[in-house]
Structure 1
Amino acid sequence: MRGALSWPFMRLYILTLLYFSANSILNVIIPLKGESLGATNTTIGIIMGAYLFTTMFFRPWAGKMIQKHGPIRVLRTILIINGFALILYTFTGLEGYFVARMLQGVCTAFFSMALQLGIIDALPEKDRSQGISMYSLCASMPGIIGPLLALGIWQAGNMNAFTVAMIAIAILTGVVGYSAKMDKQAAEPVSGQTGQGAKMSESFGQLVKNPHLFKCSVLMLVASLVFGAVTTFIPLYAAQIEGGNAAIYLMLQAGAVVVARFVLRKKIPSDGKWHSSFVMAIMLMLAVAALCVSFSVMGGAVFFYAGAGLMGIAQALLYPTLTTYLTFVLPQLNRNVLIGLFIATADLGVSLGGVIMGPVADIFTYSVMYMICAILGVSMIIFSYERRKIFVGSR
């Protein structure tokens, strides 16, 4: 394979786009369905959070299984389970949604790890950030049209269309997934290393012991909490904003992610160095975005949609920046497992955005909840700068 935009990689990006299309619809349908059934924000947050909370637990094992069996074999198995989970949404209520979210969480742990590790291993170092950015871009692209489609389905009261959409996505994802291929080096199992890598329990300890992993994980955890609060409650909060529309907000945010990841993909550092000012700028955008969303209940739709754009840009840049950095500084022997742990912190953060911020919204208001998110973003600006010397000195 040559270059992150060659056809074999493009086929993987298309698979990513199809796989995450279901979530772009479910992220709108589930909160609206829950509210219509009288569920509290806490309940809705738990159901939404079950997805990535489950993913978090399985990511480290996903990295190890992929290292042992190879990404292609793992990918094909997971797509079958994912198809079952999508079909489960079509004939169950909130309890069934909870189970389906957990199944999806397991699938996503293995799916995203298989593709990302396959891309990382197949690309030369100078192209890693572009490959990760393109993967993340295609994972975000469904968010441009998915929310609008979901809102149209809901407002029309036509859940048959929802059923057709879930089944179609399950079938298309399976067909494209089974025809996907990766570079021979990336697709083959890594033999002889199963006993050489660190034990799983020791790998968990690296979250604290390894300063590179610790720094990136904390940043990703807090930022993802904000992203999760937006994904879970914007469909409900938008009704309180004059001129606000959840579908438009989510489309603008996803559109900003897509544009920023494509236009700025070459600007993302891919040299293995910690760029403090770059990360601080990203966290500043995140904090301002959350502040705009919080203030929009008084300021109106202008602040609401400005927050969407800034949130999308921050989301577009943070994940590939931190992931690319870790591919350089983590030890090669158990890199897959440690990257799995890092991505698990992103999953945990999104999950906590629903589970923790749901009760906050119940006790206070959505506006106060997003103000707290802005404060967390500001704290991460400080965190990015103050610990910089520790990382430079440890290298």
Structure 2
Amino acid sequence: MSGAMSWPFLRLYLLVLLYFSANSILNVIIPLQGGALGATNTTIGLIMGAYLFTTMFFRPWAGHIIQMHGPIKVLRIILIINGFALILYTVTGLGGYLVARMLQGVSTAFFSMALQIGIIDALPEKDRSQGISLYSLFSYIPGIVGPLLALGIWQGGMEYFAIAMTIIAIFTGVFGYSTKMDKAETQSFTKNAEQGVNMFNSFGQLVKNQHLFKCSVLMLVGSIVFGAITVFIPLYAEQVKNGNAGIFLMIMAVTVVFSRFSLRKKIPSDGKWHSSFIMGTMLLLAMGAQCVSFAINGGAIFFYLGATFMGIAQALLYPTLTTYLSFVLPQMKRNVLLGLFIAMADLGVSLGGIIMGPVADFYSYSTTYMICAILSVAMLFFAYDRRKIFVG
């Protein structure tokens, strides 16, 4: 096999699988543990949101540092930080969870940027969307069994949680240290800041650059919906007749994995803005959120149907927008500006817990997901563009 499916890239995807396997467990354990300790939805949302909120701030700097030193050197350092964060979960309570989430956020900012920049730089343009899609696919494979494993850990005792986190930390560190990127790691990376982009000035590009602005708003809103689903489904499922959080998250993860693999060649990789494709994706997101909202009355059928719609939308949205930006952003600024875009995705997931937590406290989970559906519908109009080519 060659291109995005060659062995060096398969090793990278396996590393992604190992790295994100911890999160598939933590996304279930932390809300359940918080609920058991009497924490409010607002508190749980803050703890869960701290992870990607921290990641958001470090994304642009990650892109800049990786541009200077290359992905491999950065990757090996942040795997140590990630291992420390995972061990910290095993010896602390909710207060320690907050610190661990922030450390994990720093690690993820550099990890994901290192791998995605390496993939983009190493693959030819025609394979770029497949590489990004497969990266995203392998980050969701742990979600197939992770939630069910987490529920088993929760029922069996938290001592199993400590064992699982320790094993994941060790295996990820050892496997990641030996990973190579071949062409990507041999590229010359500039150490001259003047050849890159001023970090503080780059934030203005979120508004000034029309391509980055459009993609960032779409990704922000989509991620708010994904974040609200991830944080509160373990608690909402207990209110849905015959609802099971593990099955919901498993269905969503299986759908993401299947859709990303089967549709990876359908994702546009030509530098053009495909309004109908993006609008269709946002419509699926709206339908998924509304099905989850209605499940409190409609039951498990709508609950799991919502998981399917959400999975397809999540499979398509991120790789489509990322691939598009990889074509239209200025080459010298691309890494940092991609970091800003991915930071908007992180911010959205964080806000899904931080903002929607108080909504769930004052109203209900069902109302929270109805608001998510309304936001998604609004993005249908935002995604529309009469121009077929959206070139920078």
TM (norm. structure 1) is 0.97
Question: Aligned to 1:333, what secondary structure does the other structure show?
Answer: helix
Aligned partner of 1:133 in structure 2 is 133
Tell me the distance in 2 between the aligned counterparts of 1:276 and 1:124. Answer: 25
Distance 1:182 1:43, change over 3 A: same
What is the CA–CA distance in structure 1 between the aligned matches of 2:148 and 2:104, rounded to whole Å?
A: 22
Q: In 2, Cα distance between the equivalents of 1:77 and 1:7? A: 23
Q: Distance in 2 between matches of 1:189 and 1:180?
A: 19
CA-CA distance at 1:2 after TM superposition: 3.9
Residue 160 of structure 1 deviates from its aligned partner by: 1.4
AA at the equivalent of 2:214: K
Note if contact 2:206-2:340 (Cα within 8 Å) is conserved in structure 1: yes
CA displacement 1:120-172 (0-9 Å, x = unmatched)? 0000000000000000000000000000000011122x111111100000001
- Deviation of 1:197 after TM superposition, in Å, equals 2.0
- Note if 1:253 corresponds to 2:252: yes
Within-5 A mapping of 1:124-273: 124-156=124-156, 158-191=157-190, 193-273=192-272
2:290 is equivalent to residue 291 of structure 1 = yes
Asked if structure 2 preserves the Cα contact closer than 8 Å seen for 1:69 and 1:188, the reply is no
Q: CA contact under 8 A between 2:68 and 2:191: conserved in structure 1?
A: no
SS in 1 for 2:138: helix
- In structure 1, the gaps of 5 or more residues are none
CA distance change for structure 1 residues 36 and 283 in 2, over 3 Å: closer, same or farther? same
Q: Is the 8 A contact 1:71 1:187 kept in 2?
A: no
Aligned-pair CA distance for 1:201: 1.5
Query: Residues 369, 62 of structure 1: CA spacing in aligned structure 2 closer, same or farther, 3 A cutoff?
Result: same
Q: Please state how far the C-alpha of 1:183 moved relative to its aligned partner.
A: 2.2
Indicate the SS of the match to 1:271: coil
1:20 alignment counterpart: 20
Aligned length: 392
Deviation string, structure 1 residues 189-246 (Cα, Å, up to 9, x no partner): 5135532222112211100000000000000000000000000000000000001000
Where do residues 29-178 of structure 1 align in structure 2 (5 Å cutoff)?
29-156=29-156, 158-178=157-177
**Partner residue of 2:370?**
371
Structure 2: which 5+ residue stretches go unaligned? none
In structure 2, distance between residues paired with 1:349 and 1:185: 30
Give 1:363 shift: 0.6
Change (3 A) 1:131 1:393: closer
Aligned partner of 2:105: which letter?
A: G
Aligned match of 1:321: 320
* Secondary structure of the structure 2 residue equivalent to 1:38: coil
Counterparts of 1:247 and 1:350, CA distance in 2: 19
> Is the aligned partner of 1:384 residue 2:383?
yes
Distance 2:220 2:280 in 1: 17
Contact 2:272–2:390 (CA<8 Å) still a contact in 1? no
Cα-to-partner distance string for 1:314-342 (whole Å, 9 max, x where unaligned): 00000000000000000000100000000
Distance 1:15 1:116 in 2: 12
Check the 8 A contact 2:273/2:390 in 1, yes or no. no
The 8 Å contact of residues 249 and 304 in structure 1, kept in 2 or not, is answered as: yes
Contact 1:121 1:186 (C-alpha < 8 Å) held by counterparts? no
Q: Is the 8 A contact 1:56 1:348 kept in 2?
A: yes
Q: What is the Cα-based RMSD across aligned positions, in Å?
A: 1.2
Amino acid at match of 2:373: A
Q: Which amino acid aligns with 1:144?
A: I
1:344 corresponds to 2:304: no
Name the SS of the counterpart of 2:193 in structure 1.
Answer: coil
Report what 1:282 is aligned to: 281
CA distance in 2, matches of 1:373, 1:140: 22
SS at match of 2:203: helix
State whether residues 190 and 196 of structure 2, in contact with CA within 8 Å, keep that contact through their aligned partners in structure 1. no
Change (3 A) 1:95 1:203: same
Q: 1:381 to 1:186 in 2, by over 3 A?
A: farther
Instruction: Render the CA deviation track for 1:238-285: whole Å, top value 9, x for unaligned.
Output: 000001000000000000000000000000000000000000000000
Aligned-pair identity in percent equals 73
1: CA distance, partners of 2:352 / 2:379: 16
- Distance, in Å, in 1 between the alignment partners of 2:306 and 2:185 is 39
- The amino acid that maps onto 1:191 is T
Distance in 2, matches of 1:143 and 1:212, equals 31
TM-score (norm. length: structure 2):
0.98
Equivalent position of 2:361 in the other structure: 362
8 Å contact 2:251–2:304 — kept in the other structure? yes
In the TM superposition, residue 392 of structure 1 has moved relative to its aligned partner by 4.2
Letter in 1 for 2:132: I
Compute the displacement of 1:306 (Å): 0.2
State the AA in 1 paired with 2:290.
L
SS at match of 1:4: helix
> Once structures 1 and 2 are overlaid, which stretch shifts more, 239-248 or 185-194?
185-194
Query: What is the CA–CA distance in structure 2 between the aligned matches of 1:377 and 1:185, rounded to whole Å?
Result: 37
